[in-house]
Structures are given as C-alpha cells and as structure tokens.
Structure 1
Amino acid sequence: MGVYSKIKGLSDVNISGKTILLRVDFNSPIDPQTGVILDDKRFREHLYTIKALESAKTVIITHQSRPGKKDFISLVPHAQRLSELLGKQVRFIDDIFGSCAQEMVRSSKTGDVIMLENVRFSAEENLKLSGEESAKTVLVKNLARMGDIFINDAFGTAHRSQPTIVGLPEVLPAIAGLLMEREVENLSKVLHGAPHPVTFILGGTKVDDSIDVAKHVLYNGIADYVLVVGVVANIFLSARGYDIGKPSMDLVEQLGYTGQVEIARDILSQFPDKIIVPEHVAIKKDGARVEMHVRDIPEDCPILDLGSEGLIQCLDAIRKSHTVVLNGPAGLFEETDFSFGTHEIIKAAADAEFSVVGGGHTAAAIEKMGYETKFTHISTGGGACIEFLTGKKLPAIAALEKSTERFA
C-alpha cells in the first residue's frame, strides 16, 4: 500500500470461516418525513469489500448521523437497502453488543451478513478517545467478543478518533477493506509520486481547510500550482487588496474566515508564481449573471462564479497538468446561471492523466454530470480526504498500522 505498506489488506490474511467485524460508513441523506434513504452511493462503494467476504461471517458496524439530529435513526432502512444491493438478505438486529447481538452472530453461518443497530446509539461511540482509552470501553470489549478480525473500510470516518475506529484495532487483528485501501493508495500517490505538473484546485466554502492544504502542498513541493476558486478565491482576492463587495465580505465574516486573509497574503508573498487567483468573476446583478473584473464589481453584488476570462486562465493551467486534485466548486453551482465555472473545470480536470476529487459537493456535481467514471479517484470522505492532503496521519490509519505491528 505504498507509503502505508505497514497496513495489511484482504490479500494479506485468510478470512475463510472467520467472523469479521466490518466497520463501514453508511451515513446517508435521509428524508426526515419518511426515513427513506435518498442516496445510496456509500452503500455501493462498500459492496466490493462486503462481497469479498463471502467465505466468512460478516458483522457490519456502521452509523447514521449523530445524537440530536433529525436523521439520527435506526438502521432498518439501511439493512433493507443493502439486502437489495447484495441480492441476499442482510439480517438486522436492533442491538449493538448485548446478548441478542451475541446470539445472532453465534448462530449465523458462513456467508451470512448481519447488520448491528446504529453504533452511535451507544454513547461511548460519540466520545473522542485514544486507542488505549477506547479499548477499555464497554462497547469495544463486547464487540470484540463477537469477531476474529476487524476490517475498517470506513474512510469517511477515518479522521475520527472514536472507539470502533481506533479501539477495535487495539484488541483484534485489524486490516483495511478494499475501499480504504483504494482511498489510501490514491491519496498517497497525490502526496508521493504523482506525475508533474501537479495542480490543486481549491474551492467551495471551507477556506481554513483549503488554506491548510495549500500550505502543505506548496511548502513541501508537492504542487506546482494551486488554483483557488469559490469563497477560497474571494479570500485571496481580498488578500491582494481588492474590495470583493459587501455580500461576499459578509459571507466571509459569517463563516469566521476574516483571519484567513492575512494567511493568504503570506502565501501569495512566498509563492507568487504558484498561486493562480482568477480576477475576472461573475456576479449577480438585478437577478442576472454579469461578468466583470473584480475591481469593477458594485458594492452590493455578490461574486458567485468565475467569469469567462478568469475561466480561460484556469483551464489553461489545468490542461498543462498531468495531475489534478479538485476539491470544492468554483461558485454557486446549484444555480444554473452560476454553474458554468464548476462544470467547465470538472470537464477539464477529468482529462488529466491522474485526477483526484476530494468528495463532498464537487463529487455530487460530478455525479450529476455523469462524469464519475472519467476521474481516476473520487474520495468518499470529504473531511478525511482534506486532513490526509494536509499531511496529517489519520487516526484510523495510525490504528491499523499499530494493529499490524501488534498482531504480526
């Protein structure tokens, strides 16, 4: 597994006849009125791993939402949807680690798939704990009694230091599932060994995360260019001394990112030739799209997309790149009038030799366009992907490495 060769995968162990505790991330959009799952993308991503475990008993551990949210519900619809996708019955148990769950696992046969109740119904799973602390929880102790091997396939929660993520690898031999392997291999290649030139396109509204990624890839020579769009670009435009207008500045303040302007100014001073900040933008004026240079925008009009001249500059940089990492839309793509920049960048990025997408809204836009098969890799974990690209060791990865050493 490249730079994470300390982690074992399915090809490294014999799972035949074993009971597997499989941590996945089935957290999905739910209709609050009906409880119906609105998007089963995450289920489909995990199918490869689940099908690869046919010679074992599979006990699925997963979650939906978190306490206090309207979509914090039982996993009955999740078991039904997985049954439909697998073409076989998934046995659901409305228990997590009690006697009912223990008995169902004991009485099941090789090839059976069991889904436990929403693991976040256990208060301990909602705590941020170290691996050692997690191993002492009632949750981990009782789950561990049911399995022989722990497989973590939940990249979407890999940045969470929670009991099922970091505690089970302390007490059971732990390996990565096929989805986790794919995520780690592709994101590792971005940081170590991607074909140059490498261009990072950072957009959307999560400015602090994007700036952390920009700093890491520029200071470490990973990126040849960083192209900023969306609200991230507004921060850099402000750092260049432009007045981005009251609506755009109000949004920056509402999101709590005014302090990022000074950081952006510092990055621009250190990497003037590597940061691409398009200055030709599209605003909303009297309800319509109007394009102009940022210096000319009226005080009361929001910047909502790239302008055509700004887009030409972006596409030129993308087409010269062998690797493109795309994270965040270029504007308010949900509105047709302001989807132009996002859609054109997606089309250009898809043609790169090695193309990686950071999940989230960008992945949703790509799927809507029918472009998902045109990218090398689309991450299933927005937050986890961003943390990985800032060079941080994710808790789930560290836990798998530690388990490999312990149970070698």
Structure 2
Amino acid sequence: MTTFQTVDDLEPDQRLLVRIDINAPVEDGVVQDNRRFARHAETIAELLENDHAVAVLAHQGRPGRETFVPLEGHADILADHLEREVGYVADTFGEDALAAIDALESGDVLVLENVRMCEEELPEEEPEVKAETEFVQTLRPEFDAYVNDAYSAAHRSHASLVGFPLVMDAYAGRVMEAEYTANSAIREREFDGTVTMALGGTKAEDLIPVIERVDDTVDRFCLGGIVGELFLRADGQDVGYDVGGTDFFDHQWENHRETIERVLAEYGDRLLLAEDLAYEDSKGDRAEETVEEIEKDTSYLDVGSETADRYADLVRDSEAVFVKGALGVFEDERFADGTVEVLSAIADTDCFSVVGGGDTSRAIGMYGLDEEEFSHVSVAGGAYVRALTGDALVGVDVLERAA
C-alpha cells in the first residue's frame, strides 16, 4: 500500500514540474528510443488530458562519458510517442528556461536541459541539502506541483529527485506508482507454490545481497551471466576469470571471493549453476561445451542449451518467477537462448512474474514476446535491486514525507 500522493490527487489545470527517467543508449552521438520513453509518455499524456502544462526534468549519461549529451533528441522521441509537439530549451533553470516555462499553457510540454549539466544535481547529499540548492529554489516558485515518475532513479539522492518534494506539493507519477507497487510485492507477497528467481548480469555486488535478502521468499535461484560464471569458479570449475583482454571477472573475484564462496556453501542446492556454456567458435557460430570439459580460453556469452532447457522447465513448475539480469549477451541473437527461453517459459506459464532491469526487459520486445504475458516488466535497474533487498529508496521516502 502506497503512502504517497499520486497524480490522482492533483487538481486539474496546473503547471507541473515532472521528473522522468529517459536515460537511453547513445550511438554516434544520437540518442536511441527505448521502453522508458513509452512508459513515461503515458504518464505525460494523462496529465495533458487533465489540462496540465508540463515541464520535464530528466538526465542523460554522466559528465565525461560519451553518453553525456543534451536532451534535444529526447524531446523529439518523446514527441513521437505523444504524437504532439514537444518543446526543448537548452537551459535548466537560467533565464532561457524561466522564459520558456513562463510561456507554458495548458496542454504544452517542454523538455528542460539535462539536469546533470547542473553542478548542484549530482553529488549524493541529504535531501535537506538538495532542497536548498539554487537549482531547486529557482524552479520551485514557477510551478504548482512536482511529479516524480522516475522510479528507476529513485535510489539516487540527487537534487531533481529529492529536493523538490521538501519545498512544494509532490506526487508520484504512474510509472513511479506501478513500479513501487509491483516491486514491493516481491518481498511482501506470500506464495503457496515454488518461487524461482533467475539471476544474471555483470555485477556480483548487485546480486549477492538479493540472494541473501529474499531467501525467505525464493526457493531456488537460476544463475547465469558473468555472476553465474563467478559462482562456477567458486564451485571449482575452470571458468570465471578474464581471458583475451576482458575485464569482467578477476577484480570481482578478488573483491567478493569470500562472499561468493560463503553464499554458495550456505545456499547449497538452492543455487542452480550452468551445466554448459556457449561461445563463438572460429567460424563465428555459436558453440557449446559442458562446464566439466571446459578449459577456459575464450569468452562465454550465454548459458548452454541444456542449462536453458533446465531453467525453463523449473520456471514452468513455479507459482512465481522473478528475473534480474540477463543470462547471456541477448543483444546478439546467437547468444540470446538462455534469456529468451526463460522469458518465453514465463510467458507460457500462468505464474506471477516480475522482470526487472532496464536492459533485461528490452529482450521482451526484441524477441517478439508480449509484455502483457508478464505480471510486471520493470524499467528499473538499481532501484529494482534496492526493492528486492528491502533497502530504502530515497526518492520514494521524500514523496512519503511530502504526503
């Protein structure tokens, strides 16, 4: 049960400052469309139907990275989803931004510049500190209310996420509301049958706490990806280390070896490890070998067919299934089998299911699966992990305080 105000509580015809998360891949300097645009466009469209004027705050990349670009392209993509004109101003809270905000009328949408181009946005500081920044204090009087729809960034204590709810009326958007409700259910809902979780991805520090904190809910964990290889290494297999110039395994093994070995010993047969792995052979084709016969001299890019079939069978025998992280490099069709077989098994099964992680959820659309076949598809990554482990989300906390 949510304890914050939602857009249902808004009076119509107001000027709203709306924080969304449309952080997206950038290729050759051009931002690419992704599922987040579509999800947030639904929130904005509903606000426009209620005669609100909307100014959008969002971020893209981090300073110093190639993905750190202005939001002009984001405004164009948002316009395509909304099927209406969306304004853009290359300023966040300076004179140009204030003039554009002042000109907003009911039904207008304006995208302000990348908030991470503001010096006061990024440092992780207490909400009370962020509320006193010039950024927040300048924009505050220009709006009737603030709406946070950026659940996927709700674990960040940045000015645009935590400052405004302390100084003005604040509400949760539809994405924030839906994500919070669905992801909280993982810890709070009780199931009579077997609960399975598929865990993959690249970061051991993300997934180890999940295993430890949801063990009362989840009966078995199916591991894949780089994390799965690290656990295979702990199990004595000749994998889980860097070869050919990769930099995925050795530093994580050094930092987390004791924890990985302890978790493997403690959870025993509840942790299911890959029986075979797939790689690219000399002809560029997918090839597989069982873990017992592996002497690692190449990168493994997916769980093998036997493992994928085994995991899919376990999914079909479950009352609930949760997914965090891909089991392989699904962006390459040759190495999508593990991820797609598990997702397809979920879609074919009448179970409660949550697929989390912005990257993993992309596989649903890429491989022609119907999002309606899943109970919830989360666009969140870090915030989803926090929800699984029960850690507080500061962006949610300040909305609750505002209420």
The answer (yes or no) to whether the contact 2:226–2:240 under 8 Å persists in 1 is no
d(CA) in 1 for partners of 2:250, 2:241: 12
2:76 to 72, 75, 80: 80
The answer (yes or no) to whether the contact 2:78–2:86 under 8 Å persists in 1 is yes
1:333 and 1:86, CA in 2 relative to 1: closer, same or farther beyond 3 A? closer
1:297 and 1:31, CA in 2 relative to 1: closer, same or farther beyond 3 A? closer
Alignment of 1:315-334 (within 5 A): 315-334=312-331
Alignment of 1:348-363 (within 5 A): 348-352=345-349, 353-363=351-361
Task: Give deviations 1:30-53, integer Å, cap 9, x for gaps.
Answer: 333xx4332243221101111121
Query: Per-residue deviation at 1:144?
Result: 0.7
Gaps in structure 1 of 5+ consecutive residues = none
The answer (yes or no) to whether the contact 2:43–2:173 under 8 Å persists in 1 is yes
SS at match of 1:257: helix
What residue number does 1:212 align with? 209
What residue number does 2:41 align with? 47
What residue number does 2:123 align with? 127
Task: Give deviations 1:56-99, integer Å, cap 9, x for gaps.
Answer: 22111112222222332322222233233223222322322233
SS at match of 1:21: strand
What residue number does 1:370 align with? 368
1:73 and 1:361, CA in 2 relative to 1: closer, same or farther beyond 3 A? closer
**Is the deviation greater in 158-167 or in 374-383?**
374-383
Match for 2:224: what amino acid? V
Match for 1:23: what amino acid? R
Match for 1:42: what amino acid? R
Match for 1:160: what amino acid? R
What residue number does 2:146 align with? 150
- Under a length normalisation based on structure 1, what TM-score does the superposition of the two structures give? 0.90
Match for 2:205: what amino acid? D
Match for 1:223: what amino acid? V
- Is residue 233 of structure 2 the alignment partner of residue 238 of structure 1? yes
What residue number does 1:38 align with? 32
The answer (yes or no) to whether the contact 1:327–1:362 under 8 Å persists in 2 is yes
What residue number does 1:380 align with? 379
Gaps in structure 2 of 5+ consecutive residues = none
Equivalent pairs, count: 396
The answer (yes or no) to whether the contact 2:154–2:394 under 8 Å persists in 1 is yes
What residue number does 1:398 align with? 397
Alignment of 1:300-319 (within 5 A): 300-319=297-316
Task: Give deviations 1:220-249, integer Å, cap 9, x for gaps.
Answer: x02111111122221221222222276569
d(CA) in 2 for partners of 1:248, 1:376: 39
SS at match of 2:47: coil
Task: Give deviations 1:186-231, integer Å, cap 9, x for gaps.
Answer: 101111115342211101212220111111111xx02111111122
d(CA) in 2 for partners of 1:299, 1:225: 27
Match for 1:313: what amino acid? R
1:20 to 4, 8, 16: 16
1:332 and 1:82, CA in 2 relative to 1: closer, same or farther beyond 3 A? closer
Query: Per-residue deviation at 1:254?
Result: 4.3
d(CA) in 2 for partners of 1:123, 1:180: 26
- Is residue 97 of structure 2 the alignment partner of residue 98 of structure 1? no
**Is the deviation greater in 359-368 or in 316-325?**
359-368
The answer (yes or no) to whether the contact 2:154–2:395 under 8 Å persists in 1 is yes
Query: Per-residue deviation at 1:22?
Result: 0.4
Task: Give deviations 1:137-168, integer Å, cap 9, x for gaps.
Answer: 00010111111211100122111110110110
- Under a length normalisation based on structure 2, what TM-score does the superposition of the two structures give? 0.91
- Is residue 191 of structure 2 the alignment partner of residue 191 of structure 1? no
Match for 1:181: what amino acid? E
The answer (yes or no) to whether the contact 1:24–1:61 under 8 Å persists in 2 is yes
d(CA) in 1 for partners of 2:333, 2:22: 30
